[in-house]
Amino acid sequence: MPRTLLNGAQVGDGTIQRADLDVSTAGSAVLRKIIAGTNVTFSSTGPDAGTGDVTINAAPGSSGAVQIDFGVFPGSDSATVTVTGQTGITSGSIVRVWVAPAVTTDHSVDEHLLTAPDVFVTALNAGSGFTITAIATAAETPSPRGRGPVTYGKYQLNWNY
């Protein structure tokens, strides 16, 4: 049987039902219903949740600040700090961490900008937190161990997921 062609004027609002929709053919499928996942909420105007005009809101994860300490002068080539109490973090969370130019007991804003270490999340523990590792990149002092750049003191870090 040949395909029936309709124009927009022939289809009344609310006359096409879920059962009429193709939700499985690649290239032709349409969205049947939106279902909220973790940290996602939505509001909708349809008779069922996730139907009609749908507004999706992705709730942010968490954010915070922490200081990482390379120790007293002459310092070290690396340092770690663990962030705990993050019950909402999952194994699929993407954690971002960066050096935040701020005054600490050891460094000025300018020093944060000029001698900032590279920072990485090196361990993630779902339901708990994560570990940040920092690696000195600019030699503030000669390395006492001949191992490359070292730095000392505290740097301010910000993070979110």
Spell out the per-residue pLDDT of the chain, length 161, in tens: 566 777 777 777 777 776 777 767 777 767 767 777 766 787 878 787 767 787 888 767 899 999 999 999 889 999 999 999 999 899 989 999 999 999 999 999 999 999 899 999 999 999 999 999 999 997 555 555 566 788 999 999 999 99
| pLDDT number for residue 9 | 77
- pTM: predicted TM-score of the whole model, two decimal places: 0.64
> What is the side-by-side strand order in the sheet with 129-135?
78-83, 129-135, 118-125
What number does CATH give the domain 63-160? 2.60.40
Delimiting residues of CATH 2.60.40 domain(s) in the chain = 63-160
User: For the chain, how far is it from start to end, CA to CA, in angstroms?
Assistant: 53
| pLDDT number for residue 3 | 67
